[in-house]
Chain A
């Protein structure tokens, strides 16, 4: 059982290049999230999606775009990479659950991205 799979695991980019990070989940979860993790700052939410075809901004959305064309996939794009976007990126998913049953999020193993 794969759970949440992120590709690639590592990537080095030059400033101004573009790339797309892929997240795939096989648990039929409705909700999906992209976070970035920086030292001493925990995880910060970039964008999230509550269902196929819908996305919304999180805490730090600038410089990123997302798409969720299929329920199982959530793509994170960097149109013009900047050194400030050097980080570890985590994707997570969770089922809808009920209001009284907030389900935990399931995380991928991360993508380590360096922008030179």
Chain B
């Protein structure tokens, strides 16, 4: 079975500072990894994905994620946080059992203070 862990329920960062939202995964075989963002009362929006290739993946809104196979991690990063980045962030891994469905982490709430 595959799983995703997001160890932090909430991350607080000041505007303009770099941010990191952590994610670790467990899969058999090659991982397909995703980050999604959810704003209040909205569905999830795709940010970026890792399938294969470069370990640093660039996505929407200036976000990037670093894939580390040895540490089984896929941390989301942004060099300079904006107040508008405040939202709920989900890491997800492809579920091989349920074709192309995703197994999600529990989510991390990002609060960016002005």
Contact = CB atoms under 8 A, between A and B. Distances in A.
Chain A: interface secondary structure?
A: strand
A43 B104 contact: yes
B49 A108 contact: no
A42 B106 contact: yes
A107 B106 contact: no
Interface residues of A, number: 29
A101 B43 CA distance: 23
Interface string B39-51: 0011111100101
Given A42-B106, A94-B100, A104 B41 contact: no
Interface of A: 4, 31, 33, 35, 40-45, 48, 50, 56, 58-59, 90, 92, 94, 97, 100-102, 104-110
Contact of A42 (B46, B100, B105): B105
